[in-house]
Amino acid sequence: MGNESSESETITIKKDTLWKFATVIFALLFILSIYTGGFGIRNKTTGIGSVVAPINDNNNNGDAGNNPSNPSAKVDVSSDDDAVLGNKNAPITMIEFSDYECPFCGRHFTQTYPQLKQEYIDTGKVKLVFRDFPLSFHQNAQKAAEAAECAGEQGDAAYFRMHDKLFQNQDSLSVENYKKWAKEIGLDATKFNSCLDSGKMASEISKDMADGSKYGVQGTPAFFINGKLVSGAQPFSAFKQAIDVELNA
């Protein structure tokens, strides 16, 4: 009986050891998959800790995109006729491709945008041009982009009032709320509702997306500072460095 007990205990110990070993292997495989694209691709160029994924046509799996192979190269990015915030004669143009439902875009709006606005946009050094890049797996992003564009029919200031409202209420995006918020920010509600219901801004948003893809945008948010790409929800310091380089060029 003593020998049987000893053997049983030995087997139990081996099973426990095997289970721990398997757990470690699974954890290592999971971490490896993050870096190799199984669950997303880490932005190795910027060193940001967020996990991001590429956009492959209609098979999208993530938000923040990756820098192109030569992130220091300048790209001739059109402002199109999109809304502008700040002095239109500012020496620096920052063009943002973004998605109102993207959590990384929301993080940029909350954590970085206020300081950018205070230090660079409001002081006349930078003008911000907002272009739409709603990702297909964000079910509310397309109509949110249309809502902002419809607000923009009533002026750039109206556009950015809706822009702020959308990001401030990212968890409650809906057509019903867009119409409610239009009234709250002082828009002509009849004109806004007609625009939103008609879908007339869908083609404008499609053009933004096509342009963004042409310029190398692979996800949101993506920023071009005088044509140089800053990709992802970067800290303020990353924007400051990029802007100051251009200001001192």
pLDDT in tens, the chain (249 residues): 444 444 444 444 455 555 555 555 555 554 444 333 333 223 333 333 222 333 333 333 344 443 343 555 789 999 988 999 999 999 999 999 999 999 999 999 999 999 999 999 999 999 999 999 999 999 999 999 999 999 999 999 999 999 999 999 999 999 999 999 999 999 999 999 999 999 999 999 999 999 999 999 999 999 999 999 999 999 999 999 999 999 998
Is residue 177 a part of any domain in this protein?
Answer: yes
Is residue 1 a part of any domain in this protein?
Answer: no
Straight-line distance from the first to the last Cα atom of the chain, in angstroms, rounded to the nearest whole number: 85
pLDDT (0 to 100) of residue 72:
59
Q: Per residue in 60-80, pLDDT tens?
A: 334 444 334 355 578 999 998
pLDDT (0 to 100) of residue 130:
97
pLDDT (0 to 100) of residue 249:
86
Nearest residue to 67 via CA among 212, 194, 231, 200: 231
Is residue 137 a part of any domain in this protein?
Answer: yes
In eight-state DSSP terms, residue 222 is: E
Strand, helix or coil for residue 129: strand
Is residue 35 a part of any domain in this protein?
Answer: no
Instruction: Give the H/E segment covering residue 203.
Output: helix 202-215
Residue 216 CA, distance from chain mean position: 14
The rounded distance, in Å, linking the Cα atoms of 144 and 149 is 9
Is residue 171 a part of any domain in this protein?
Answer: yes
| Domain extent for 93 | 53-247
Angle, vertex CA 125, rays to CA 232 and CA 234, nearest 5: 15
pLDDT (0 to 100) of residue 178:
98
pLDDT (0 to 100) of residue 73:
78
Is residue 24 a part of any domain in this protein?
Answer: no
pLDDT (0 to 100) of residue 217:
95
Strand, helix or coil for residue 229: strand
Is residue 19 a part of any domain in this protein?
Answer: no
Work out how many domains the chain is built from and give that number. Answer: 1
pTM: 0.73
CATH code for the domain of 183: 3.40.30.10
Is residue 12 a part of any domain in this protein?
Answer: no
